A = this chain, B = another copy of it.
Amino acid sequence: MQTKQMHHMEIPVVCRSCEARHGGVCSALTPAQLSELSKHSSRRKVEAGNEVIGQGESITSYSSILNGVVKLSKVMADGRQQIVGLQFAPDFMGRPFLGESRMSAEAAVDTEICVFPRRAIERLIHDAPDLGHLLHNQALKELDDARDWMLTLGRKTAQEKVASFLWLIANHSDPAEGDRSCFELPLSRADIADFLGLTIETVSRQMTKLRKDGIIQIENNRHITVPDLERLAEAAGIDQ
């Protein structure tokens, strides 16, 4: 009996090999809570370009990113668009304590997420202080990032903006071969423009300029190599 009981308290099978077990929402739960949550949650693939939730839609579920990249964006009535954040694994997605989404979330590349029903998460926030604390901390980090980006949007030149973007991606792409200096861009030129408050053409020109200045190398439009991260930071106007 006791072994049976113990069994109930172990990590659910579906969660054992989950990429988000460490650092993600689920790392803040007890085995029992995780087991309960896993019963109501489901894994979902989202292809690049597909929406997870749209601006103004009501929030019926939350999720966490298992792998991939999701872009958060706002659009104005006349179509002008601004990407206001990028989310990577194992980020939690969704706005707790709010009825409807104030922005859209769209997969930037093929992405997998784990979807939780709204009720389950909101109950857990109250029952599991660690979860509340983890989400609070993530919100604070996102706030820091958003404010850093405000400086980029408001005061940096096009050149510095593009370099800042590359710097951000360099620091968020998991160092596959332990190498920060070589990575794949998760965004198209159009997305980068929407993230930086620029046009496609300006982004393209600045990328070319960074390449000609020897600060980056470009292969296949998406694959970037940075010989000297220090020089990139300098070009981004980042003070160290």
Contact = CB atoms under 8 A, between A and B. Distances in A.
A84 interface: yes
A103 B143 contact: no
Contacts of A136: 96, 132, 135-136, 139
A154 interface: yes
Q: How many copies does the complex hold?
A: 2
Contacts of A96: 136, 140
A150 B151 contact: no
A209 B135 CA distance: 44
Interface in A130-159: 132-133, 135-137, 139-140, 142-144, 146-151, 153-156
A140 B139 contact: yes
A81 interface: yes
A86 to B, nearest CB: 12
Contacts of A149: 150
B153 A84 contact: no
Interface residues of A, number: 42
B197 A153 contact: yes
Contacts of A85: 147
Interface in A91-121: 95-98, 102-103
Interface of A: 72, 74, 76-78, 80-82, 84-85, 95-98, 102-103, 126, 129, 132-133, 135-137, 139-140, 142-144, 146-151, 153-156, 196-197, 237, 239
Given A132-B132, A143-B146, A146-B150, 18 more contacts: A74-B147, A74-B148, A74-B150, A74-B151, A76-B155, A76-B239, A77-B239, A80-B155, A82-B150, A82-B151, A102-B148, A103-B147, A126-B129, A129-B132, A139-B143, A146-B147, A153-B197, A154-B197
16 contacts: A76-B151, A76-B155, A76-B237, A77-B237, A81-B155, A84-B151, A95-B140, A95-B144, A96-B136, A97-B140, A136-B136, A139-B140, A142-B143, A150-B150, A153-B153, A154-B196
